[in-house]
Structure 1
Amino acid sequence: MRLCVFTEPQLGATYEDQLAIARRAEELGFEAFFRSDHYLTMAGDGMPGPTDSWVTLGALARETSTIRLGTLVTSATFRLPGPLAIAVAQVDAMSGGRVELGLGTGWYEREHSAYGIPFPPLAERFDRLTEQLEIIKGFWATPAGSTYSFEGRYYDVVESPALPKPVQPAGPPVIIGGKGPKRTPRLAARYADEFNVPFSSLEDTDAQYRRVVEAIEAEGRDGRAPIVFSFAQTIVCGADEAAVRRRAEALGLDPSGPQPGQLYGTPEHIAEQIRGFVKAGASRAFLQLMDLRDLEHLELIAAEVAPLLA
């Protein structure tokens, strides 16, 4: 099981906070540092305010050396596909080929209205996401010296040089995630290198993986590498039960026990919960750390949970 750190900086974190946890995660041997792509907090005042995901990752690319970097997930409503492809390819080059792109429809209407971003109905957001995936993948697959064109309902691309190219030969891995039973699995089967189920029970996660497998069989992948399955869960870990309760209370979470979407307990209990997802087919865990300044939490996971999953 490969362990990734997943953060929500819009809840209240500076760039320096994110740099500190990314560097410590790298030192501790975590595979990746991922962050959300949001411009408005969902709880509290969010001070000092949001940081842009791709600006942040570009800076982290130059201040880390081995840890992989990505979004879970970038909102397709925030950026046009061409500029997004350029930004991701540039950060990939800045990092020496360590970038991954999670891309989704966007869902938080309030942040769109707060920052003047159009928020179409869900069906249109899915249509736009589909076209964005096609365009971004098309840009990266176009040989240097050739041009790329696309005619869609929402986006037209006319003889683009499709530059710059990412460092990773096939382009950064694309992650698609979600709980939708129909369109989401079909999009994953067609475009994703990895499929992520966020904050769901083991049973629901297993069911969604099965839907994606069925969609892959229907789509066919023509020799492409098998899709990676992953999951995201909030983690609350403590050296003993009392420490677990204290950490949960400090985070404003229910201290009575694990809630849906949580890994909760001592290192042994956390490892046992993760093994259930491994049996369902997951090979990558995104561990959502709610307090970016609690580096002791990160160190406990590395020292006590990771060895149990080796």
Structure 2
Amino acid sequence: MDLRIFTEPQQGASYDTLLAVAKATEDLGFDAFFRSDHYLAMGDSDGLPGPTDAWITLAGLARETSRIRLGTLMTAGTFRLPGVLAIQVAQVDQMSGGRVEFGLGAGWYEDEHKAYGIPFPKEKFGRLEEQLAIVTGLWGTKPGETFSHHGTHYDLTDSPALPKPTQAKIPVLIGGMGASRTPRLAARYADEFNIPFASLADSERQFGRVREAAQAAGRDADELTYSNALVVCVGKDDAEVARRAAAIGREVEELKENGLAGSPAEVVDKIGRFAEIGSTRFYLQVLDLSDLDHLELISSQVQSQL
């Protein structure tokens, strides 16, 4: 069972804060550091000191860490042209010595597009499908050959398809709860399928759809990694759980219902229930990035029991 730390920097975090969390992630034995790809805070947060760019952040962390995997849940397809994105991710993979993983989604938060002048197309899924075809196609083109794509949304002609990642195959993550198109896309392109903030029952149902889509595509469904992202709030006693819940503006019972919250034993038990439906990796959404003691407790009292 892999435990990965997942951050939401748009809610308020500088690069130095993210660096401290990433270094703790590495030092405490977690598998990876991931971050969201957003430019605008959500809810009541003022977002200070302001947003940081996902791939610029990961480029810096690539040079400041040595072991952990680095990636996005999920890169917004609306933010970058696919050819440029392929260059950016390949470069960060080189900078990290081959530790990058690439999560790509369609993009959904219209307000941040309005705030920063980013076009927000009405039809995003078709664009996402072409983006995946282009990015993976550029990476997969043999040196000395060229790549072309003539689609509805993007047109590339005789691209040299450079630079190449360090890894022979950068793992691709696709996620979501769509009933038909999302599983089909995952079956074609994904190495990992991720479900964000969903119940056991909904996760089991969606994993089943992805498995069926993989089999229909002639692929072994067990080739994919199945994962969940859930908010985490662990305390050594009830008082500490309550303090951490209050710090992120959440109620304890709601967190226990919808996330991984409570004592280490409670969290281990819930992870075990997700494991029974096929989940082998967890992205622990850490919302209070100043509380590094929280990560130490999870490492020593939760991860050690898995």
TM bucket normalised to smaller = over 0.9
2:37 paired with 1:37: yes
Whether 2:181 is the aligned partner of 1:157: answer: no
1:59-138 equivalence runs, <5 A: 59-121=60-122, 124-138=123-137
Moved more, 173-182 or 248-257: 248-257
The answer for the alignment partner of 1:57 in structure 2 is 58
Moved more, 274-283 or 47-56: 274-283
Structure 2 CA distance, aligned partners of 1:89 and 1:277?
A: 33
Contact 2:211–2:221 under 8 Å retained in 1: no
Asked if the contact 1:174/1:193 (under 8 Å) is kept, the reply is yes
Superimposed CA distance per residue, residues 159-186 of structure 1 (whole angstroms, 9 cap, x where no aligned partner)? 000000000012x100001011111111
d(CA) in 1 for partners of 2:294 and 2:254?
A: 18
Q: Which residue of 1 aligns with 2:263?
A: 266
Deviates more, 1:249-258 or 1:100-109: 249-258
Residue deviations 1:94-152, cap 9 Å, x none?
0000000100001111001111111112xx20000000000011001100010011110
Relative distance call for 1:71 and 1:264 in structure 2 (3 A) is same
After superposition, the C-alpha distances for 1:218-238 in whole angstroms (9 at most, x for unaligned) are: 1123x7970110000000100
Structure 1 partner of 2:138: 139
Q: CA deviation at 1:260?
A: 4.8
Match of 2:197 in 1: 199
1:297 and 1:14 mapped to 2: Cα distance?
Answer: 19
Q: Secondary structure at the match of 1:256?
A: helix
The structure 1 residue matched to 2:187, chosen from 165, 181, 189, is 189
Spell out, residue by residue over 1:61-113, the C-alpha distance to the aligned partner (whole angstroms, 9 max, x if none): 00000011000000000000000000000000000000001000011110011
Q: Distance in 2 between matches of 1:279 and 1:85?
A: 36
- Within 2, Cα distance between the matches of 1:183 and 1:37? 22
2:230–2:283 contact (8 Å) kept in structure 1 = yes
Distance 1:225 1:168 in 2: 22
SS at match of 1:39: coil
Q: Secondary structure at the match of 1:91?
A: helix
Unaligned stretches of 5+ residues in structure 2:
none
- Contact persistence 1:257–1:264 (CA under 8 A): no
Q: How does 1:275-294 map to 2 (within 5 A)?
A: 275-294=272-291
Give 3-state SS (helix, strand or coil) of 1:236's partner.
strand
Residue 257 of structure 1 deviates from its aligned partner by 4.7
2:151 counterpart letter in structure 1: G
Give 1:245 deviation, angstroms.
Answer: 1.1
CA distance in 2, matches of 1:159, 1:257: 53
What is the SS of the residue equivalent to 1:4?
A: strand
Q: Percent identity?
A: 58
Residue 18 of structure 1 pairs with residue 18 of structure 2: yes
* Residue aligning to 1:211: 209
Q: Is the 8 A contact 1:198 1:261 kept in 2?
A: no
What code does the residue aligned with 1:161 have? P
Compared with structure 1, are the counterparts of its residues 188 and 203 closer, same or farther at alpha carbon in structure 2 (3 Å cutoff)?
A: same
Moved over 2 A (4+): 255-261
Contact between 2:106 and 2:124, CA under 8 Å: does it hold in 1? yes
Counterpart in 2 of 1:5?
5
Separation (CA, whole Å) in 2 of partners of 1:179 and 1:54: 25
The count of corresponding residues between Structure 1 and Structure 2 is 305
